[in-house]
């Protein structure tokens, strides 16, 4: 994971799996073009477009937000820039971990959960949706960043599910340097428990 925010968690995961990888890429993880999208991905991006058209003009007063910039043009979804990565991959457990910072909790991300299948995920999607509704962060550079990020996060969830990899999402406030400071044994215990339980559920 880029930046310092994920280092405490990376060090913790290293004790559970010495071979843990950060910013890990699979060949099947990429921003899909229109003809590569699953039915769920189509519904999600179509609703993100609709939201941008309806709400985008009011989100950043005085600035025009162009929904066509949200992966509408296949010819622009090319090359290395379309590849995505997961924050952490634990080979020992064959498990993926995403560490979500505050900027991932947005109105746009909340929209994506409305179209998720009801089963098959290894974190509490309803809780994540509530966090999105509570925080409603905004990132204005570029103006379409929040919609794009929401779609990419949804793709990570859906593609991991499709390829039979358990993926769990962790909230940054529960695993940052402050969370580990003075409470590392308890955080480590909870983290290991979560990983082991997820692996068992997936078997």
Rounded to 10 degrees, the C-alpha dihedral 1/118/125/54 comes to 90
Per-residue confidence at 97, pLDDT binned at 50, 70, 90? very high
Q: What is the mean pLDDT of residues 116-141?
A: 86
pLDDT at res. 182: 86
Res 19 pLDDT > 80? yes
Q: CB under 8 Å, gap of 24 or more: what pairs does 42-46 form? A: 43/115, 44/111, 44/112, 44/115, 44/151, 44/154, 45/70, 45/71, 45/151
Spatial CA neighbour of 35 closest among 71, 65, 85, 80:
71
pLDDT at res. 54: 86
Q: From the centroid of its chain, how far is CA 11?
A: 20
Strand 86-90 to strand 21-24: parallel, antiparallel, or no bridges (unpaired)?
Answer: antiparallel
User: In the structure encoding, which two tokens stand for residue 178, read together?
Assistant: 């402050």
The neighbour count for residue 142, using CB atoms within 10 Å, is 11
Res 140 pLDDT > 70? no
Spatial CA neighbour of 52 closest among 126, 124, 149:
149
pLDDT at res. 65: 76
pLDDT at res. 174: 94
Q: What is the mean pLDDT of residues 47-51?
A: 95
Backbone angles phi and psi of 94, in degrees to 5: 55, 45
Q: Where are the domains of the chain?
A: 7-202
Q: What is the mean pLDDT of residues 37-63?
A: 87
Q: What is the mean pLDDT of residues 110-123?
A: 95
pLDDT at res. 5: 86
pLDDT at res. 157: 98
pLDDT at res. 138: 65
pLDDT at res. 64: 72
Say how many CA atoms lie within 13 Å of 182 toward its Cβ.
1
pLDDT at res. 134: 86
């Amino acid at each position: 994971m880029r930046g310092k925010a994920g280092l405490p968690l990376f060090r913790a995961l290293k004790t559970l799996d010495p071979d843990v990888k950060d910013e890990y890429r699979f060949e099947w993880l990429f921003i899909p073009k229109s003809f590569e999208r699953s039915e769920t991905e189509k519904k999600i991006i179509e609703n993100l477009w609709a939201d941008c058209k309806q709400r985008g003009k009011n989100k950043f007063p005085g600035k025009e937000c162009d929904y066509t910039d949200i992966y509408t043009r296949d010819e622009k979804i090319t090359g290395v820039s379309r590849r995505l990565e997961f924050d952490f991959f634990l080979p020992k457990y064959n498990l993926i971990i995403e560490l979500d910072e505050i900027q991932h909790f947005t109105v746009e991300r909340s929209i994506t959960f409305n179209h998720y299948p009801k089963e098959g995920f290894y974190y509490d999607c309803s809780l994540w949706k509530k966090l999105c509704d509570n925080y409603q962060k905004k990132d204005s550079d570029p103006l379409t960043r929040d919609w794009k990020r929401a779609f990419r996060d949804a793709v990570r969830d859906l593609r991991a599910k499709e390829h039979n990899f358990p993926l769990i999402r962790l909230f940054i406030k529960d695993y940052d340097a402050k969370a580990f400071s003075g409470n590392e044994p308890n955080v480590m215990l909870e983290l290991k428990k979560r990983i082991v339980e997820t692996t068992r559920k997936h078997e």
